[in-house]
């Protein structure tokens, strides 16, 4: 999975100051955030 997209998405979420829960959900959707 493209980890770059995950990192960019996480950064965008942090910049938008969204809920941490959304970041976790995105992580689960990608299924490649914690596992390389």
State how far the Cα of 36 lies from the Cα of 20, in Å rounded to an integer: 21
| 9 CB burial (10 A radius; 0-12, 13-18, 19+) | middle
| Cα-based distances in Å from 17 to 10, 22, 31, 35, 36 | 10, 10, 22, 24, 26
**pTM of the predicted protein model:** 0.36
pLDDT, residue 36, reads 44
pLDDT in tens, 1-36: 577 777 777 777 777 665 666 777 777 777 765 554
pLDDT, residue 32, reads 62
State how far the Cα of 4 lies from the Cα of 2, in Å rounded to an integer: 5
């Amino acid at each position: 999975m493209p980890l770059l997209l995950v990192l960019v998405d996480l950064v965008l979420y942090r910049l938008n100051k969204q809920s941490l829960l959304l970041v976790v959900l995105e992580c689960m959707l990608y299924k490649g955030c914690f596992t390389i």
